[in-house]
Amino acid sequence: MPEQPFFQVPINLSHAATVATRIVSRLVENLPSKHESEALSQAEFLVSELLPYRIDPEEPAPAEAMVVQAHCLDIARHLVTLIREEKLQSDRVGQSVRNLFECLGAGREGSVKGLEAGEDPSSPQRPT
């Protein structure tokens, strides 16, 4: 079965960096004050890994993009696990998580991970 068009999103590391920054902000909003959070630390690490692509929005060579994509997807998967464990899910966090996976070229996986991170399943922005 061919992939649905909304899951066929090219890798965009520059925008992934922007979305990762957004996830940090959304997690901070959900944290109790002065609360230690491994999820927040993981999100900040993801931002640092993507920072070079935010500073220089030129997409890297395909081989480099594939390595960065695989590395950042691993970080993002662990981040979702931590968000669930720390009960930091919200619709906005989930939407941002879905967007991150889309920017990393993993739209179908992002639609699942977004739900795990709290995205409202009936959101009009969700792919069906």
- Are 76 and 50 in contact by the 8 Å Cβ rule? The answer is no
Average model confidence (pLDDT) across the chain? 90
Three-state secondary-structure class, residue 90? coil
Tens digit of each residue's pLDDT (9 = 90 or more) over 12-65: 999 999 999 999 999 999 888 767 899 999 999 999 999 999 988 788 999 999
pLDDT of residue 5: 58
pLDDT of residue 57: 75
pLDDT of residue 2: 52
pLDDT of residue 4: 61
pLDDT of residue 7: 63
pLDDT of residue 1: 46
Side chain identity, residue 54: R
pTM of the predicted protein model: 0.90
- Give the containing element (helix H, strand E) for 67: helix 62-85
Strand ranges for the chain from DSSP E: none
Q: Is 48 exposed, middle or buried (0-12, 13-18, 19+ CB in 10 A)?
A: exposed
